[in-house]
Amino acid sequence: MHTNLVLGTTVAAAAIGYFFKPKKPKTELEVNSVPIPTVPSYLPLQVDSLLKYIFSVYAEKDEFEYLRHLSAQYGNTLNFRGFNEDLIIVLDPSSIQHILAKNQPNYEKGAEFQAIFHDFLGNGIFNADGETWKIQRHLARPHFQTSEFRDAALINRHVDELLKVIDKHLASNPEKPIEVQSLFCRFTLDEATEFLFGEAANALQDEDNDFATAFNYTQAITGWRFRVPLWRYVVPTRRFLKEIKKLDDFVYRIVDKGIAREEARTREQEKNPSDDEHGGKGGHENLLDHFLSQRQEYGFDREYLRDMLLNFLLAGRDTTASLLTFTVWELSKHPHVLEKLKREVAEVVASGTAPSYDDIKKLKYQKQVINEVLRLYPPVPYNTRHSVEEDVLPNGYYIPPNTTVAYGAYSTHRLVDLWGDDALEFDPDRWGPERVGKIKPFMFVPFHAGPRICLGQNLAYTTAQVTLTRLLQKYDIKASPGFKPELMADIVLFSRNGVEAVLVKQDLSEI
């Protein structure tokens, strides 16, 4: 995206499309509440503040540190206005709890959020409110129960393929750093598509995989829609819609095969009522079949199934890829943590064997490491809600009706007044038995919280732990000299320049 295009169209559209809104009389609730500190701006429609933020993203600076700097100046509840519209940012745990749990019905995704994501996600669970969201969540929950992936067999099968790709790289370039972010994105795409669709995308075998490329591009452009005011006029759509078509072609092909399979199964069951190959609802091998078994009852069409699958794919693929990426990054910088992890794996998992689900539960220090990565690098660093009615937060600040409210796990997880003077340091011991009691509810929300808490969080932990265990059994992890990631969030937290690490073959049984 060209800088002049962003500047010119944003300023021009602001100049001709918006006018100052007349002030509305204050309600009794507002009069008796505390006004939220507002980030000052000096140009009409707060154009200077908006452009400063856009440049902090576009000029390859750290947008998260920019927002942390604002909170340090104006507090943990602040109003970042643009085009005379409020964007209220909340970071304190009590306010996050209020929005996500205690008064959750008042805070919806909202029409603007849904418009931004609609081309990509349609009316799926990530983009839905009300009954649409409730039905999808109710139907999906059984497939994400722990029993569906206790033996971790599907995960281990895809880890086998991941290790083959790494070994191939090391065979030809043993000292060259590996860009692990791209590698983990392809790995989790394959694992997630099989778990959800029953058919893997095979991105690990093909770096230029059409579906993977389209998914990445679509996500990046959707991220810009989320950031840029007047996105309908600024963010390009021609290629975006072409890439959406590639996603649709892949998903609809699988959906149509699934519908044909389910219709054949239904006909067979009508002939032989006692023969149910799935053993009842909830026993299906993938999410698509799970939904298809209830298609007639709920009237799902192809588009509805497409939307649900892409929504769960976004949540399942990218969050785990982000978690694995930044875990490797932190381990490459902290060899003492890496050595302690290796010793734990060697003690718990028999040499030369893949970890079982029971093994994973015994890796206590590994879980501490992963929680610390999730604290510093929450996969969804910021999210938004839209207030339906006016409200007051627990700290007394007033929320107007019909207002966007953002809560930021990234910033909350790094607040010194919550986590101590070492809040920016990577320290898995803060999750140990001696200190974990200091972590209060809603201080740590990497998978959100309340009624919309992530259904796949247990699967994400399991995938990350199985994969990390297998990596530690086979490789040492070393830092790539001079490399530093540049954090960014399209929708999920990634590094715009990837993440490099040096992997060296080793035998864990000798440690």
Q: What is the pLDDT of residues 455-496, one digit of tens each?
A: 888 889 999 999 999 999 999 999 999 999 999 877 899 998
Using CB atoms within 10 Å of the CB of residue 120, give its burial: 0 to 12 exposed, 13 to 18 middle, 19+ buried. buried
What's the pLDDT score for residue 21?
54
Q: Which two tokens stand for residue 162?
A: 């991941």
What's the pLDDT score for residue 217?
92
Cβ partners under 8 Å of residue 200, min gap 6: 158, 190, 191, 193, 194
Say if CB 250 and CB 201 are below 8 A apart: yes
Annotated binding residue at 454?
A: yes
pLDDT band at 366 (very low <50, low <70, confident <90, very high): very high
What's the pLDDT score for residue 3?
47
What's the pLDDT score for residue 275?
57
Q: Where are the domains of the chain?
A: 140-510
Arithmetic mean of pLDDT, 386-408:
96
CA 259, CA 255: separation in Å to the nearest integer? 6
What's the pLDDT score for residue 276?
54
Q: Which two tokens stand for residue 394?
A: 């627990």
Say if CB 355 and CB 470 are below 8 A apart: yes
Cβ partners under 8 Å of residue 421, min gap 6: none
CA atoms within 13 A of residue 315's CA, in its CB half-sphere:
24
Q: Which CATH code for domain 140-510?
A: 1.10.630.10
Buried-exposed string 213-232: b where 16+ CB fall within 10 A, e elsewhere: ebbbbbbbbbbbbbbbbbbe
In whole numbers, what is the pLDDT of the chain averaged over residues?
88
Residue 285 has pLDDT above 90, yes or no: no
Amino acid, single-letter form, for residue 511: I
Amino acid, single-letter form, for residue 406: A
pLDDT band at 390 (very low <50, low <70, confident <90, very high): very high
CA 158, CA 194: separation in Å to the nearest integer? 10
pLDDT band at 402 (very low <50, low <70, confident <90, very high): very high
Amino acid, single-letter form, for residue 55: F
pTM: 0.91
